[in-house]
Every structure is written in C-alpha cells, then in structure tokens.
Structure 1
Amino acid sequence: MPTLICDCNKTMPLDPKALGRALDENLTLHSTLCRREAGAFQQAVKTGDDVVVACTQERRLFGELGQQTEGAVSPIRFVNIRETGGWSKDARSAMPKLAALLAAAKLPEPEPVPTVTYKSAGRLLVIGPLEEAERFAHVIGDALDITIFSRGGSGEQERRYPIVGGRIESLTGWLGAFQLAWSQDNPIDLDLCTRCNACVAACPEQAIGLDYQVNLQACKSHRSCVKACDVAGAIDFTREPVAHTDTFDLVLDLRRQPSFVQHAPPQGYFHLPPEQENGPRALDVVLKLRELVGEFEKPKFFAYKQKLCAHSRNEKVGCNACIEICSAEAISSDKSRQQVKVNPSLCVGCGACTTVCPTGALTYAYPRANEQGAKIRTLVSTYEKAGGSAPVVLLHSQERGQAFVEELGRAARVGVAEGVPANVIPMSVWHVASMGIDLWLTAVAQGAAHVAVLATSEEAPQYLEGLQAQMQVAQSILEGLGYEGSHFSLLQARSASDLDQELKLLARRRGAAPATRARYAVSAEKRTTLDLALDHLVEHAKKKPEAIALPAGALFGTVDVDKDKCTLCMSCVGACPSSALQDNQTAPQLRFVEKNCVQCGLCAKTCPEQAITLQPRLLLTPERKQPRVVNEAKPFACIRCSKPFGTLKGIEAMIGKLAGHAMFQGPALERLKMCGDCRVIDIYSAQDESRITDL
C-alpha cells in the first residue's frame, strides 16, 4: 500500500527515513504533492493498491485528479499528519506519532453493518408565530411542501401555504415519519377562512387578531363576528374540538420551548428559538432542511443480545444504565419480555449505552470493538517501534473534536498555540462516548501511558457523568495493582484555545504501563475483553492484593448474603442473568461465581427476604472464577417418604406464615411438610377415606 507524504511547502520537519523504517516502506518526501509533484500521485493510483495520502486539506483535489488519471484504479485513503503533529511546537519530535497515524490509515475499512433507511418527500411542518413561520416558508418554499401550524401573530393576506391551528396534543417520530396530533379548538376554521377581515372589524372587544384566532378570554359573546362571516361560515362557537392527525417528513419549530426536550432530538427536527431566528444558525437550518429530501441511510450503530441483558427478570428491573444515559430517548424498557428496546431510527450512534452496559448485551457495531482495538494496538505499537515513549491516546469526535484539533494545528503554525504534543496521538471516533473501560484498559495493557477523552460541549451531561464514573473504576483497578500515575482523564474544551491549555497539562500526565505489552485481540464480547485486559494487567502488576475496592456502580463485585434471613428459596438464582448465582442439585446450597457477577442488582430486588446486598470490588484470587458457597442449610425431609425436598429454615418459615390461615389447618398444615408427590397422594387418600365414611 503506497504512502505519499508531503511537508506542505517545507512547513513540516518530516523525516522520511524514520517514518519509512516504522512502516517498513521506502518513502519519498514531497513538498508540493498537490501541485508540481502531482505526477507522483497519479503514478501511485495506477498501481491498483490502496494509496495513503498524508493530506486532508486537498482531499477533493486529489479525488478529482484521480478520476482524471487514465488507468487510475487504486482506492485512496487520507490521513492528517499536518495539524495533528507536523504543525506543533515539538514537531521535530513527532515522527513516532506521525508514523502511528500513517500505519493506522492502512488498516482495513470497518466491516459493513445493517443500515437504517429514512425516506423524506419534503413535507415540512413549521410551528410558530404566523409572521415568522411565513417568513421562513418563503425562503424554503420552492424546495419543500410546507404546512404551517400557528396560534398567534399576524401574517400576510395572501394564502400561500396551508395553515392549521389549535392545541398540539403530541409530536412524535423522526425524519420521514413525524406524526402530529392536535385538537382544532378555536371557533374559526382556518381552512374556511378567506381572510376578508370582516370578523376583525366587527368584533367590539378586538378579540380577533390577524392570525384569525379568537381570544376566548377577551370575547364577551356578542357574536358579531359570526354574523359578519355568515357567507363563508368559518366561525362556529358551538363546534366541539376536533381531533386531527397528520404525518410530516421534517419539522421546523420556531417556538421558545421545543417539542422534544431530550439532548439529541430526532433527525429531521430543528428547533430555532426566537433569539436565533436572525443569526447564523438560521441559515444553517434552512440549508439542512433543503437537503433532507430523498432517501438516506445510516449504519445501525448497535447490536443487542437479549440473553446477556441484565435489565429485567420476572418483571423486576435491575440494570437501567442504557435507558438512563441515552440522550435520544431511543431506549425503553420491555419488562414483559425481560429486555430493553432500541429504536434504530432515533439512535444517533453515540454509543454511550454500550459504554455503561455491564454485560456487553449492547455493543457498538460500527466500527466494532475488535476494529477499534486493532486501531489502538496499531497506533501504540507503531509509535513505540518508531522510538516513541509514554504515548497518550486522545479520543475525539470526528466532527467538532476533529475541527478543534485542526484549528489548534493551524494556530500552532502561526505561533499563537503550541499544538498537539509529540506524545499525544489523536484518534477520531464517531462519538467519544462509544468507547469504554474495556478498550481503555486494553490501551494501557498495550502500552498507553494515558487515555484522554475530549468533550467539546456537544455531549449530553449524562455522557460526561457516565464517562467519569467508568474512569474512576478503571483508575481504581490500576492503582490497586500498583500502576503509578494518572491513566485516564476527561478533557472539556469549548474552543481550540481551551484544547491547547488542556493538552499542555495532558502531555505531563503519564501513568505506568505493563513492562510486557499485551498482544491479545479485542473480542466482540465486552466481558471477554475485560478478562483478557485484567489477566494481563494482574500478571505484570507490582501489587497483587486479594481484592480491590471499587466505586459504587462498578461492573465487578460480590454479593453479601444474610444467612439469618436467607431461606434458600433460590429466587435470586432464577433472576440472575449471568449465572453468577447458582444452586446445587445435590444439596441445599446457594453458590456464587464472582467473575460472572455484573452488579445489576436483580438478585437483591427479587429476594423476598431482602437478604442480599451488593459489594463492588475486583477479586484477584483464583476463587474469582470458581463457585463458592455463600449459604447452605440443613435439608428438610418429607414426613411421609423421608425424601429431602427443601430446607429446614424454609419450611419452618412457610409454616410460621401460613399456620394462622383458615385453609391451612389440621391435615392441610401437615401437608406443607410433605414433598410434592406425597402431598398429592395424601390429598387423594383423604378423599377416598371420606367417601368410605359417607357410605
């Protein structure tokens, strides 16, 4: 796979020999690859191999040049080495990082995944004051089919667009499938109204405005307006509210309060409050609306395995982490089916649900965890192969985060910033919340001195809380194992200038990594990857305590069983989604496998005696993977056949609770001491004796 590097008119101190050694490739340094030396690019794209071009600024030019080159068949990949390190205060020390970025660009593209399709015919609903709604409609109207919903303001006399009014009951849906439900509760029917203004002139209270809605609080029931509108018949004060529903592809909401209050509203919905209607965002919204006509696809970002889900058992809710963190309200509970439901049309691909999921029931699908793991391993290993030390992996979003990194690089070029430090390796992801503790610990196991996540104010508050909680757990594990220093941080920046200050501090945050680098491949199963990372970190740790205490909410831990309360009813065994709690078929024992426990709490919520509490920790002894008895009891033998069928404590507790009940007196109470078979035999024997007595 040919690699083309360019120092951009000698503004970057690139060392082609050092880069080539790290990539096992002979590299030629260009200075004007996009201009005078474009012939080298044209020759490369004729080889048939993928071509890596270390320039993103001229991506479009290279694409057009490739199309114009006869015999060009090579796919082209682009990677930014200029703003990410070539333009920085310590650019001369950045060769290991640049080699890592070039190596990562050579990795295979993510495997394709199922897609979610949206179809929009351009039916736009504009909600808001009539005058403002019509003004926006005039700008967009030639491209979209517009309906206006208004309850206030005055508009033009010329009827250009359908206008409806009333009380909105609900607005639901997404791009191509919005559904509006409203009640027509005003005496004036806007469909029949001709805007002759006769009612406005006739009303003595001036209760009718040029929006042709009656202010019922000001109206004194003179009904002069009804007489004035006798011919058109648009006004009827006796009309009952009429319920309506309609569907739209797009929604522009001009009210101060939006219809959707979640952090990530549905795609196709745009909220433009009054203070933004004349600003730059208004133009951006108009342009986006005009583009959203046609058929669109996006990846289905998640994969869900119900059998791993710890959300619900027997209509009891345990883990609710994915529902609580989802900023798009795309995840809901289905207790009857013991699972969660994810609406792929509402999902925005942030991946926060997969980060906080303790079991791996929800996984990020595009790119998959193993593909992200391969990228981290390539970045860190190539960096070290090229002579770098203490690499810091900086995870940032591919939109605003990437824009901040590039803006910072340009600022460094003109000397007003320091740029991205030589040991900080930027890694672009769809959303920073999509990678969690399994990949963070993997990065450390593979040699990363620090993992930083860049938040740029576009993230929902619950994302930041979730990321910080996960980082506390990961840091507690490493500290407990004796890995010194700081390994994880959440950077918050609202501008490239903020990022510059954060990176100056980040370059000095170095945590210890294992002396032997991990080489395992990241698994598609989250818990498997975590086990691989923990095994490697424990094997090479300076400290090996029996257990490490973890913060509340951690995805590792044990359960404490109050033996005085526990009756060994085994309700917890049936509720446990991960087989951490198990019974013993040959003896009345409750056993526990700590490695399997995800701390979902279903056992504690299911236990009728409230005998179970959770204790977050990471056990490091071999017992973590082995069943251990957490409670056992003397068996209770059937008073008829002597076969053990329960526990002494359980049967005594049941008898104590039912002894006073009218249905459990005399022989019925004694049957509680029998096994199921003998209980049936005893009932039929008693019935036979009763028949003989009657005869």
Structure 2
Amino acid sequence: MPLNAKALGAALHEDLTLHSTLCRRDAGAFQKAIQSGDDVVVACTQEQRLFGDLGQQTEGAVSPIRFVNIRETGGWSRDAAKASPKIAALLAAARLPDPPPVPTVTYKSTGRLLIIGPLDQAEQAAALVSDVLDVTLFTQGPGNAGGAQARRFPVLGGRITGLTGWLGAFELQWKADNPIDLDLCTRCNACVAACPENAIGLDYQIDMAACQSHRACVKVCQVAGAIDFTRDAAVQTERFDLVLDLRSATATPTFLQHALPQGYFRWDGRDLSALLQLRELVGEFEKPRFFAYKQKLCAHSRNETVGCNACVDICSAEAISSDKGRQQIKVNPNLCVGCGACTTVCPTGALTYAYPSATEQGTKLKTLLSTYTAAGGKDAVLLLHSQERGQALVEELGRAAQLKLAQGVPAHVIPVALWHTASTGVDLWLSAIAYGASQVVVLTTQEEAPQYLDGLQAQMDVAQAILRGLGYTGTHVQLLRATHPTELDAALQALGQTRQKIPAVAARFAVAQEKRSTLEMALDHLIEQAPMPVAERPEAIALPAVGSLLGTIEVNKGRCTLCLSCVSACPASALQDNPQLPQLRFIEKNCVQCGLCATTCPENAITLQPRLLLTPERAQLRVLNEAKPWACVRCGKPFGTVKAIEAMLGKLSGHPMFQGEALERLKMCSDCRVIDLYSSQSETKVTDL
C-alpha cells in the first residue's frame, strides 16, 4: 500500500514509525509497543488473531490494543495514492475509547435440543450433534425412507399448537392426538404392514382421514400395547433450550418474523453452519441490552388512545408490543436483536440506542470527518454498513481491487461499520452533514427486513427535503443496495460524479443522547449555514407525511370546543393550555407529529401538517384557538367556554335527568353547583317537616 508515515503523522499530530510488514517481520516492534502503556492501533485485521494471542503472551504488555482495517477499505484501491486523509480518519476513530458497559441480557442453555421435521432427516441431524446436545425429536412425517429402526432419541408426535420463546426458554405445545404412543412403540412395523388403508407411515403417525377403523393395527400391537384410539388427545407442553426446524419456512407458521429468536435455527440439510452454531450454544451467554426506554416521552398511548405505532410496526423480531393497560410499549429484551430500527423511527426519543449510544456514534462520525478534512480530504462520503454482510462485501471489493478486477473503495468514501444499518436515523445523518460530510450512504445487502428499508427511506426523504429546502443541492442521504462486489463497485464509483452543497463551516456541537436535542442542534447549524439567502427562503419547508417528526397542527376552530383533551395527550408539551384564559396554545418546535392529539380529539378538529418552519415563531408559544369564557350564572366567575357550555346544554336539555334546576346547575361553576344542590336539599327537608 502506498502509505506516507509523515503525512499520516501530521494528520494525527504524532510522530509515526511505519512498519510496512507488521504481519510477521515486525512482531518484535509490536511487542515493544504494547509494553509502553500507550494505546496501540494495529492498522490491519488480517492477523488480528495472531497479534491478539501475541499480546496475551507478551510479558509486561499493558497497552490497550485496537484493530482497524485500512487495507481493503483504502490501501487496496485504484485511489490508494489519494487515500491518506481517509486512512488518517480511520486510524483516529480506531483510537477512540470503547463504549462504556451497559446492562446485559443473560441466556442460560443446558443443551436440550428439539428437532422438528421428517423422522429420517431429524435422526440424521441428531446424529451430528447428539455428542454435545440432549436431543428430542418431534416427527413431522417419515421422510423419504423412514426413520432408523433403532430408537436412539426420544420421539414426540402429534400436532404442534404453539412454539414460543428464545435461547434457553423455548416452550413447545402440542396436541397428542396420535393413537400410537411413541414411547411404547418398538418400531416393529407390524402395524404398518397390517393397515389395509396404508394410513400408518414410517413416522408411526396414523392418518385419521384415511383410517377406516378396522383396528387391525391394535390387534397386531397387543404385546407392546402402543396403539390406543380411546386415549384423550390432551395438550402437552415441554421446555427446550434450542430448536432446529427442518420444515420449510413457507410451509409452517412457526416464527415467521424476519429476525428469528436466538437459539432457533432452520436447516436445509446441506449448510452445516447452523449445526456448528448449535454445538456452541451450551452454557451462559450475555448480550448488551441495546435499548433504553423513557415512558414519559413515549407517544404510543395516552388517555387510553393509541397514537404512534412506529416501533411496534417496524420491529422485525416482534420484540415490541403494546401494553394498553399501562398505556406504553413493552420491549422483550430476550427477543431484541439490537437492530435499532425502533430508535430510528421513534419521533420523540423515548426509545434510544444504548450500545453504542448516539453520543458515541456522533463522536465517531465527528472524529472521522474532522480528521479527514484536516488531512486535506474533500467531499467525504460516509458509507454506513453492517458489521456482518456489509463488512464482508466491502472487504471482498478491496480484494477484487488488489487483483485489478475492480476499482475498489474510492478515496473519499469512508466505510463505517454499524451493529445494524437500521440503527441510525435523521438526527445522526443531518449531524454528519453539519460536520462536513457531502453524503451519507447506507449500504443494504438483503439481510435487512423489508420494513427496515421502508423506514430508512422515509427518514431519508425527510432529511433530503430539509436540505433541498435550505438550498443544499444534490443528494446527501441515500440507500445503496448491493449483494456483490461488482454492484458495490459500480455504485461507489457513481457517488463521485456529482457534487453536493455542504455547510461552509463545519459544526462543532456534540451529539446528545436525546434525539430531539441532537436534531435541533443539527437543524440550527444547517439553517445558519444554508446556501439559500434568507430573503429567498420559504417561510416553511413542506415535509413528507410519512416519517416526518417535525411539523405543526391545524385546528378547526368551528369544531374545537377547547376541551383540552389534546393537551393531556401530548407527550412532548407541544400543546399547552392557559390557566388564566380558555386558550389552546402550541410550540411548534416541540411537536413530533405523533398524531395522539388528532386521535384523542373528540370533535375530529385537529389535522397534522408536516413541515419545518424557518421563522422565529417555531420556538415561540402561539395561540391556536381561544374562546369567550362562560360566566357562572350564580357568582359570575368564568369557567369553561361559551361554546362548550352551550354545546353541553344543547345535548343534555332533552335528557330526563337534566330538567329544571338540574339543567340550570350546568350553567354554574363547580363550587356554586355544590352550594346550590345542598341548598335545594335543605329547603326540601324543611318543607317536608
């Protein structure tokens, strides 16, 4: 690779010694470095295992070691000679501290494995893992040749009615409606031969639709006594730690979600990776608790009314559900796979990504872009990709470039690995543009759930509408779909063909953990640095209806009765009342467009209007509706509104419970109503006496 130690050192503000064959020849220099106590960055992942082991074996090694790939991502490219700014940026980001620990989710597995499928295939799979796992089979047909006659594993049979859970906690429910008791069955096959309708297969299940009740099978099974047509078909349950499903994914309804529960595997009988993973899943395992939830910010439900369902709808693991009793959402941490899509589409920031946090992600993006710019780089493109298939695809492209089969990753494209591509959204994307990125590109590789792509695209449409409305020409955020290095290569080369307008001065703010705070800081900077002159800017930028988390509301004053139910429903304090006057007031900056106000309003008087208001009024309290107060007919104190009281009188005037004095009391304040009622009762008692 054409590396320049002097240029890299200047970008990183350090004196660097370049070890160009570190993999083997300079192992001694590596050992000396890790004994120094300073942070050590190994700028290659080829021999990560080798140097990790060497670090553990080196006496006096105290330095933290971090690895970063600059080879496939920059050095192996036809742009390698111009890649020094990018390489400096990758080295700088690699030196950032690891995210602080977060609460974890624990799984415990003793190795109890359930295999579901045709008996012969299930027994073949069991034979490959039974040396380390405790296997039970659930037969789903005999397969091509039937099961082996030697009963090596416990076999269950019947009709599965439910399968739920996750690693270490799967629960199988089935209806034992098979007349043949598989525990008693000796597999002598006498029943199979005796059945005149061929209703018994080599899985020793009876097809009741074909059976004509000759009961020849019962007669030949008298010694074993395994067949009983009078047995109650009871529902049974049993717990397992792991599940291997040999059935077709399209033929059964079990776990149809895109992200399958951990510990559940499908196997086609060919790829051995699933079996290899199963063999490793015995013991205790931990994963980060990827999310944090603040119920008071949640726009899902208020006043027994459901508003926002964004997180529930997008979750591909079905880990999020509505807890209507507590008027909030509920996240099952055992099912959560850490994709972060729920945090991306959450309008309020009630759900936040915890590992790594938004603050840590923002620090990384800011470090990459500031170092890249300081080293002389221009038109930086952040390529956000998953650390699994996305990372592999980038590395495949780098190797293809080294073999002169591809262009490779361009010098201005900076790959950034994420736990999942759905874990960042409009707040971080706009922050990256404010920091100086010309584009933010999210690489998808068909490992993402379809709803993730829809959610990301909706957020990108909002971000792009804001930028174009401010005069930032070009495409700044986009999805890039690729499954092969050739596709990725062509798409990356196309990114450099157009230039995007970016802020003249890079932002200096730090990304906050609160989504709305970060979004507001990014918007303030982008508005301040907008290329479009202030005199030419529109009053407001219209935003797409889908995915927008900015906007105002329109109130139909002819319908609104100022009942203020919308105020109590608003989770963001965008809607407020006035304790002194009957008014509905609004702060547009706080509005998240969740729709709870509209669904709560009994008069259907509220309409959402997605937009970004560019005038100072966006942060100011303004009155949406007001009315003349109703004065108590007894004491004159104002309460309610004329419109609301008149509407109530009109609706109740014909009711038998509200006639005469009762109807008149509706015109009184609450204090006078009690006094009048008490006085009336006293007068009645005196009259009776």
- State TM-score, norm by structure 1: 0.96
Give the aligned partner of residue 56 of structure 1.
45
Tell me if 1:646 matches 2:640: yes
Q: What are the Cα deviations for residues 476-495 of structure 1, in whole angstroms up to 9, with x where unaligned? A: 11111111111011000111
Q: Given the alignment, which residue of 496, 505, 528 partners 2:517?
A: 528
Tell me if 1:459 matches 2:448: yes
User: Does the residue aligned with 1:303 lie in a helix, a strand or coil?
Assistant: strand
Letter in 1 for 2:313: E
Give the aligned partner of residue 543 of structure 2.
550
Tell me, in whole angstroms, the C-alpha distance in 2 between the residues paired with 1:335 and 1:518.
42
Q: Given the alignment, which residue of 469, 474, 479 partners 1:490?
A: 479
Tell me, in whole angstroms, the C-alpha distance in 1 between the residues paired with 2:185 and 2:400.
59
Give the aligned partner of residue 265 of structure 1.
260
On the 8 A contact 1:116/1:297 being kept in 2, the answer is yes
On the 8 A contact 1:487/1:510 being kept in 2, the answer is no
Give the aligned partner of residue 167 of structure 2.
175
Q: What are the Cα deviations for residues 295-315 of structure 1, in whole angstroms up to 9, with x where unaligned? A: 111111111111110000011
Give the aligned partner of residue 5 of structure 1.
none
Tell me, in whole angstroms, the C-alpha distance in 1 between the residues paired with 2:554 and 2:540.
15
Letter in 1 for 2:259: A
Q: What are the Cα deviations for residues 46-92 of structure 1, in whole angstroms up to 9, with x where unaligned? A: 10112101111011111222233332222211111110010101110
Tell me, in whole angstroms, the C-alpha distance in 2 between the residues paired with 1:507 and 1:249.
50
Letter in 2 for 1:96: P
Tell me, in whole angstroms, the C-alpha distance in 1 between the residues paired with 2:613 and 2:243.
53
Shift of 1:453: 0.3
Range moving further from structure 2, 619-628 or 191-200: 191-200
Shift of 1:331: 0.3
Give the aligned partner of residue 563 of structure 2.
569
User: Does the residue aligned with 2:497 lie in a helix, a strand or coil?
Assistant: coil
User: Does the residue aligned with 2:325 lie in a helix, a strand or coil?
Assistant: helix
Shift of 1:347: 0.4
User: Does the residue aligned with 2:3 lie in a helix, a strand or coil?
Assistant: coil
Give the aligned partner of residue 109 of structure 2.
120
Give the aligned partner of residue 71 of structure 1.
60
Tell me, in whole angstroms, the C-alpha distance in 2 between the residues paired with 1:662 and 1:33.
93
Give the aligned partner of residue 672 of structure 2.
678
Letter in 2 for 1:548: I
Range moving further from structure 2, 186-195 or 325-334: 186-195
Letter in 2 for 1:239: R
On the 8 A contact 1:514/1:540 being kept in 2, the answer is yes
For residues 78-157 of structure 1, the aligned pairs below 5 Å read: 78-153=67-142, 154-157=146-149
Give the aligned partner of residue 613 of structure 1.
607
Letter in 1 for 2:210: A
Q: Given the alignment, which residue of 300, 310, 319 partners 1:330?
A: 319
After TM superposition, the runs of 4+ consecutive aligned structure 1 residues lying more than 4 A away are none
User: Does the residue aligned with 1:336 lie in a helix, a strand or coil?
Assistant: coil
Letter in 1 for 2:256: V
Tell me, in whole angstroms, the C-alpha distance in 2 between the residues paired with 1:508 and 1:112.
42
Tell me if 1:295 matches 2:284: yes
Give the aligned partner of residue 213 of structure 2.
221
Letter in 2 for 1:241: A
Letter in 1 for 2:652: L
Letter in 2 for 1:227: K
Tell me, in whole angstroms, the C-alpha distance in 2 between the residues paired with 1:509 and 1:550.
24
Tell me, in whole angstroms, the C-alpha distance in 1 between the residues paired with 2:498 and 2:667.
66
Tell me, in whole angstroms, the C-alpha distance in 2 between the residues paired with 1:309 and 1:114.
21
Range moving further from structure 2, 44-53 or 557-566: 44-53
Give the aligned partner of residue 466 of structure 2.
477
Letter in 2 for 1:206: N
Tell me, in whole angstroms, the C-alpha distance in 1 between the residues paired with 2:12 and 2:371.
8
Letter in 1 for 2:638: P
Give the aligned partner of residue 357 of structure 2.
368
Shift of 1:339: 1.0
Tell me, in whole angstroms, the C-alpha distance in 2 between the residues paired with 1:357 and 1:682.
50
For residues 312-327 of structure 1, the aligned pairs below 5 Å read: 312-327=301-316
Letter in 1 for 2:273: D
User: Does the residue aligned with 1:651 lie in a helix, a strand or coil?
Assistant: helix
Tell me, in whole angstroms, the C-alpha distance in 2 between the residues paired with 1:244 and 1:354.
39
Letter in 1 for 2:595: G
Range moving further from structure 2, 221-230 or 370-379: 221-230
Shift of 1:509: 4.4
On the 8 A contact 1:32/1:38 being kept in 2, the answer is no
On the 8 A contact 1:349/1:431 being kept in 2, the answer is yes
Range moving further from structure 2, 617-626 or 228-237: 228-237
Give the aligned partner of residue 430 of structure 2.
441
User: Does the residue aligned with 1:421 lie in a helix, a strand or coil?
Assistant: coil
Give the aligned partner of residue 337 of structure 2.
348
Q: What are the Cα deviations for residues 197-233 of structure 1, in whole angstroms up to 9, with x where unaligned? A: 2222322222212211111111111112112222322
On the 8 A contact 1:322/1:356 being kept in 2, the answer is yes
Gaps of 5+ in 1: 1-11
Q: What are the Cα deviations for residues 131-168 of structure 1, in whole angstroms up to 9, with x where unaligned? A: 11111111111110000001311211111000001111
Q: Given the alignment, which residue of 384, 388, 405 partners 2:394?
A: 405
User: Does the residue aligned with 1:507 lie in a helix, a strand or coil?
Assistant: helix
Aligned length: 678
Tell me if 1:249 matches 2:249: no
Give the aligned partner of residue 25 of structure 1.
14
Range moving further from structure 2, 71-80 or 518-527: 71-80
Tell me, in whole angstroms, the C-alpha distance in 2 between the residues paired with 1:89 and 1:253.
46
Tell me, in whole angstroms, the C-alpha distance in 1 between the residues paired with 2:20 and 2:593.
57
Tell me, in whole angstroms, the C-alpha distance in 1 between the residues paired with 2:628 and 2:299.
32
On the 8 A contact 1:140/1:290 being kept in 2, the answer is yes
Tell me, in whole angstroms, the C-alpha distance in 2 between the residues paired with 1:336 and 1:689.
46
Tell me if 1:377 matches 2:377: no
User: Does the residue aligned with 1:152 lie in a helix, a strand or coil?
Assistant: coil
Tell me, in whole angstroms, the C-alpha distance in 2 between the residues paired with 1:684 and 1:336.
38
Q: Given the alignment, which residue of 558, 574, 580 partners 2:574?
A: 580
Gaps of 5+ in 2: none
Q: Given the alignment, which residue of 155, 159, 165 partners 2:151?
A: 159
User: Does the residue aligned with 1:239 lie in a helix, a strand or coil?
Assistant: coil
Tell me, in whole angstroms, the C-alpha distance in 2 between the residues paired with 1:69 and 1:15.
29
Letter in 2 for 1:240: D
Give the aligned partner of residue 412 of structure 2.
423
Tell me, in whole angstroms, the C-alpha distance in 2 between the residues paired with 1:200 and 1:541.
81
Tell me, in whole angstroms, the C-alpha distance in 1 between the residues paired with 2:56 and 2:603.
73
Letter in 1 for 2:101: P
Q: What are the Cα deviations for residues 537-565 of structure 1, in whole angstroms up to 9, with x where unaligned? A: 11111334321100003000101000000
User: Does the residue aligned with 1:290 lie in a helix, a strand or coil?
Assistant: helix
For residues 499-518 of structure 1, the aligned pairs below 5 Å read: 499-518=488-507
Letter in 1 for 2:602: P
On the 8 A contact 1:308/1:359 being kept in 2, the answer is yes
Give the aligned partner of residue 198 of structure 1.
190
Tell me, in whole angstroms, the C-alpha distance in 2 between the residues paired with 1:571 and 1:681.
28
On the 8 A contact 1:318/1:605 being kept in 2, the answer is yes
On the 8 A contact 1:487/1:509 being kept in 2, the answer is no
Q: What are the Cα deviations for residues 392-429 of structure 1, in whole angstroms up to 9, with x where unaligned? A: 11101111111111110000001000000000011111
Shift of 1:37: 2.2
Letter in 2 for 1:552: A
Tell me, in whole angstroms, the C-alpha distance in 2 between the residues paired with 1:206 and 1:626.
80
- State TM-score, norm by structure 2: 0.97
Tell me, in whole angstroms, the C-alpha distance in 2 between the residues paired with 1:461 and 1:194.
48
Shift of 1:518: 0.4
Tell me if 1:235 matches 2:224: no
Tell me, in whole angstroms, the C-alpha distance in 2 between the residues paired with 1:158 and 1:586.
85
Letter in 1 for 2:683: E
User: Does the residue aligned with 1:40 lie in a helix, a strand or coil?
Assistant: helix
